[in-house]
Structure 1
């Protein structure tokens, strides 16, 4: 594990696997770093850089004082610091909240390209009535941390419903850690609900925006919106793939990314 520091002194720990141009892999809101394990073997020609997001599996003394408004800024700052610590301009590859972070970081960082799978951006009409953060916060305040995080799973990971959610969660390796991070997930959701997609994203690097036909409709719509706001973007949608696309079909996702990068 290697480390660097952001400008505010936060220690950033990351693992680097392989040689070649670095690809920084930014996981989503509730996924652990291990989310990328099925993906990394498909990036043999790259050096996979997997950071430990501040607050997600790390200890931050001021985490409890971090407001929702500061969450995205904090994430972007650590990614920019990581980019500066690497040799050569990396590719930023983010999933969900990690995809939003990658795009925002690329507005002021030297990167070769950005790959964003279903960025955690809410379409305006959806954002105006979004209340997931409030519902989760109320449950956390009542001591129902498990139920709070289940609301996130139901709305984002399984929006069409699932026959036995408790059984599914019992088999999900990330579940215990997700419950422990309930407050951070609430803050993250508040940041997402507050984020307004501009008409134009000031990203000079080429971007590849990805989505799956089986993901939440609002995220598929937002992926297209992000694509439209990026000046140099390609949009690809994968049939039969859900919000967990990178880990679900890593061979298809990585092949599309390699093809995109070879053309640039």
Structure 2
């Protein structure tokens, strides 16, 4: 059986995890052929990791997104950022490459969301939104199909994870404080890389404009604690997910890729 070709865009820790899963034969239906990162060294490191473990492999670090697209991989794994996804998504879909992404925050932009959906449909490609650091997207979507519902997304984080945002202040190192309340569109605008999952949950349910998001900073807290709640007249579902590291996001990409080729899909 011919293997499906893969490329990775964004070569940080999560890409390394995916490469390890690939090396450990957890993705036997795929061939990883290319890596790309704004850091050439990181792209080279991931390619080397694959090639050193698989003597028959030929994974190449690319110098540009255009070089990645020229290879026409069946799937492009994106672990970079919402801006990176916006940069290449439409061209990739037109080019015949489907996308598996963690940067679902890009879809808070309704115009981009609509353009992606239209382009993918016209060219027979797809965008697979990995669950990232949360779960329960199936029950969110199911409940929303049943009729009118309300949904909330609460996140607890370390103050250190907020340092690069406008809400950070030194007092957060000593006192617990709710630093944000708003909808998912406002959340991803303020925290472009750390609340992608709130947008994923909103797309699966009530939409980014209607998903109520709150973020609480807790001193000495490690990791992320997410609570998603959805209610309609018949269903009340609560999904709690705590993760000490971001590794669950990388593993959700591996799980998505396995689901794509599995005869039995979860």
- Normalized per residue, the structure richer in strand is 2
- Normalized per residue, the structure richer in helix is 1
Common topology (TM > 0.5): no
Q: TM-score, normalised by structure 2?
A: 0.40
